[in-house]
Amino acid sequence: MFLSFYYGAWADMFGRKMLFYLFLISKIFAQAATVIWAFFEESPKEWALIIDMPVTLMGGYATWRLAVNAFIADIAKPEDRAFRLQVVNAFVILARPLSAPAGAYLWRTGFVLQADFTPKRQY
């Protein structure tokens, strides 16, 4: 989070694409580590804290939102800028309450592929 304050000035000097790449690479690494961690049942729960460290060190979603908003501000015409930024923010706001029911529905219908690859835990 502390690094996200400096990414704006850094992106002005070196470009915004690197922010996209840094966040996406760290997120891919974290997701791959989560899948590997879920596969081993005996792994300690403390690994969950370590898995998200790369994303946290890159500034997390604050960096992602900063890069996306700056990218839209760069490519949009001044008369369209407010509308385009509001569309992106509307999707971000709507995604939070809609993702949990959508995920539960996909889980119930068996559409989630990760559930087939992870071992079934006995409770």
The Cα–Cα gap between 19 and 74 comes to 15
Mean pLDDT of 85-94: 92
Mean pLDDT of 85-95: 92
Q: What is the pLDDT of residue 115?
A: 44
Query: What is the overall mean pLDDT for the chain?
Result: 80
- In this structure, what token pair is assigned to residue 90? 């509307």
The Cα–Cα gap between 23 and 67 comes to 10
Q: What is the pLDDT of residue 43?
A: 78
Q: What is the pLDDT of residue 20?
A: 80
pLDDT of 9 > 80? The answer is: no
User: Confidence class of residue 123 from pLDDT cuts 50, 70 and 90?
Assistant: very low
Residues 6 or more apart in contact with residue 112 via CB below 8 angstroms = 103, 106
- Alpha carbon dihedral 57, 61, 64, 70, in 10-degree steps, equals -120
pLDDT digits (tens, 9 = 90+) for 26-75: 889 988 888 888 777 777 878 888 888 888 888 788 878 888 888 888 88
